[in-house]
């Protein structure tokens, strides 16, 4: 491998608390039913707008009704998320150690998330993870977001790395599908948010329990007979 593309929410940082605070504050502003954390965990992963649509539908609004309040909901959500970003979240064990070890191996790192870029950059800075990444891209950085392969392809281009030599690391089927579509190998973490489905069924090359297990896995791949 020449480079590694790493997801953010559910892979490096447990941000469920931030989503809970911002989303339910938004729903209360709109006089809509709030959403339980277990439901939020199944909804996250496809971007903030998808999360809002899912939460509004979960509260009983049909498609046309969701569309009529979505602009207002988005404005409220951005305000609330900006206020809580990073306050109710924690870096997963092994993340910092894993990133440091990958960089020591000479790998170029990029963070690619479906979170809006401004929020992603602020969260990485708050958690002191930004120093590890040569590139950071969000859900609004490209014309399409994961699970579409376009963001992965463009991130490979930014890293000057061929997809076949660029490992994608994430926590969900979104990451696996985007990686496969781009022609990249993919490893998923066993924790995180996979829409309530078993992550081992997502079709990754491997599933690891901690990010600091990646260097050893990469070493084992390199030692396999060709």
Q: What three-state secondary structure class fits 36?
A: coil
Tell me the two tokens of residue 211.
């990010």
Q: What is the Cα–Cα distance from 157 to 217, expressed in whole angstroms? A: 24
Q: What is the Cα–Cα distance from 223 to 135, expressed in whole angstroms? A: 29
Q: Write b or e for each residue in 126-144: b if 16 or more Cβ atoms lie within 10 A of its Cβ, otherwise e.
A: ebebeebbebbbbbbbbee
The angle formed by the CA atoms of residues 91, 95 and 100, to the nearest 5 degrees, is 130
Distances (CA, A) of 168 to 28, 89, 147, 184, 190: 37, 23, 12, 7, 15
The reply to whether 7 belongs to the active site is: yes
Q: Determine which one of 7, 18, 171, 212 is catalytic.
A: 7
Q: What three-state secondary structure class fits 122?
A: helix
Tell me which residues are annotated as active site: 7
């Amino acid at each position: 491998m020449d480079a590694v593309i790493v997801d953010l929410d559910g892979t490096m940082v447990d941000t469920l608390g931030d989503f809970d605070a911002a989303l339910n504050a938004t729903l209360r502003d709109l006089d809509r039913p709030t959403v339980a954390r277990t439901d939020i965990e199944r909804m996250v992963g496809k971007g903030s707008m998808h999360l809002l649509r899912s939460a509004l539908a979960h509260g009983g609004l049909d498609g046309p009704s969701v569309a009529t309040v979505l602009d207002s909901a988005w404005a409220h959500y951005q305000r609330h998320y900006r206020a809580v970003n990073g306050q109710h979240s924690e870096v997963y064990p092994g993340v910092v150690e894993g990133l440091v070890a990958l960089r020591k191996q000479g790998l170029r790192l990029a963070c690619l998330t479906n979170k809006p870029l401004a929020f992603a950059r602020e969260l990485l800075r708050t958690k002191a993870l930004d120093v590890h990444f040569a590139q950071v891209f969000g859900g609004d950085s490209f014309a399409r977001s994961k699970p579409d392969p376009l963001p992965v392809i463009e991130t490979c281009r930014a890293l000057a790395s061929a997809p076949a030599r660029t490992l994608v690391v994430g926590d969900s089927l979104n990451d696996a599908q985007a990686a496969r579509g781009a022609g990249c190998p993919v490893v998923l973490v066993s924790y995180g948010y996979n829409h309530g489905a078993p992550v081992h069924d997502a079709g990754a090359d491997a599933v690891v329990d901690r990010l600091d297990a990646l260097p050893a896995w990469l070493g084992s791949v390199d030692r396999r007979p060709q």
